[in-house]
């Protein structure tokens, strides 16, 4: 740990980085659960409401909401929201890994710029 940094400060830093991972995992689970929707009708919605992937995604989003409020208690919104930009990197990467969706060199370049931007802006 850095000098003058408590374990509580480190855990808050971990939470702010974990937040986009939780949101991204929820997005992947929502995408997987969307396979059960043939149309936006009563039967599909009923099937979706008992889909394990959908339920887990909703739980993750619920936990993320409470975690977000906790993060905002300890960080200014303009600093905390920077890290949410990581979800623009993580969701496509996770969709590539778990859903076998294609990823392009242009995406990788854009993702690198997003990460660079977060790194630059976090100290502003």
**pLDDT number for residue 1:** 45
pTM, whole model, 2 decimals? 0.84
Local confidence band at 6 (pLDDT 50, 70, 90 cut-offs):
low
| CA dist list (Å): 28 to 39, 55, 86, 98, 123 | 20, 13, 15, 8, 31
- Lowest-confidence pick of 20-24, 39-43, 45-49, 54-58: 39-43
Measured distance CA(24)–CA(86) in Å, rounded:
9
**Cα 49 to the chain's mean position, in Å?**
22
pLDDT at residue 28 tops 90 = yes
**pLDDT number for residue 62:** 97
């Amino acid at each position: 740990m850095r000098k003058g940094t408590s374990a509580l400060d480190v855990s808050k830093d971990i939470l702010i980085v974990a937040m986009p991972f939780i949101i991204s995992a929820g997005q992947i689970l929502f995408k997987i659960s969307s396979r059960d929707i043939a149309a936006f009708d009563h039967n599909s919605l009923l099937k979706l409401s008992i889909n394990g992937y959908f339920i887990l995604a909703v739980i993750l989003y619920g936990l993320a909401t409470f975690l977000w409020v906790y993060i905002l208690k300890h960080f200014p919104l303009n600093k905390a929201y920077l890290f949410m930009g990581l979800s623009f990197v993580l969701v496509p990467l996770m969709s590539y890994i778990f859903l076998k969706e294609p990823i392009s060199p242009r995406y990788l370049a854009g993702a690198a710029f997003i990460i660079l931007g977060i790194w630059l802006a976090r100290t502003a």
